[in-house]
Amino acid sequence: MELTHIEHIGIAVSNLEDSIRFYEDVLGLKCYGIEEVKEQKVRTAFFQVGQSKIELLESTDPEGPIGKFVEKKGEGIHHLAFAVKNLESALKETEEKGVQLIDHTPRKGAEGLDIGFLHPKSTHSVLMEFCENKNK
Burial of 38 from C-beta contacts in 10 A (0-12 / 13-18 / 19+): exposed
Among 12, 31, 54, 81, binds Zn ion (CB under 5 A): 81
CB 86 within 8 A of CB 135: no
Q: Which stretch binds Zn ion (CB under 5 A): 5-13, 28-36, 69-77, 89-97?
A: 5-13
When CB distances to Zn ion are compared, the closest residue is 10
The H-assigned helical ranges of the chain are 16-21, 65-73, 87-96
State the nearest-atom distance from the C-beta of 38 to Zn ion, in Å.
Answer: 15
Site string for Zn ion, 15-54 (x = CB under 5 A): ----------------------------------------
Rounded Cα distance between 48 and 29, Å, is 7
Residue type at 31 in one-letter notation: C
Site string for Zn ion, 93-132 (x = CB under 5 A): ------------------------------------x---
Q: Supply φ then ψ for residue 123, to 5 degrees.
A: -125, 30
Give the footprint of Zn ion on this chain (CB under 5 A): 10, 81, 129
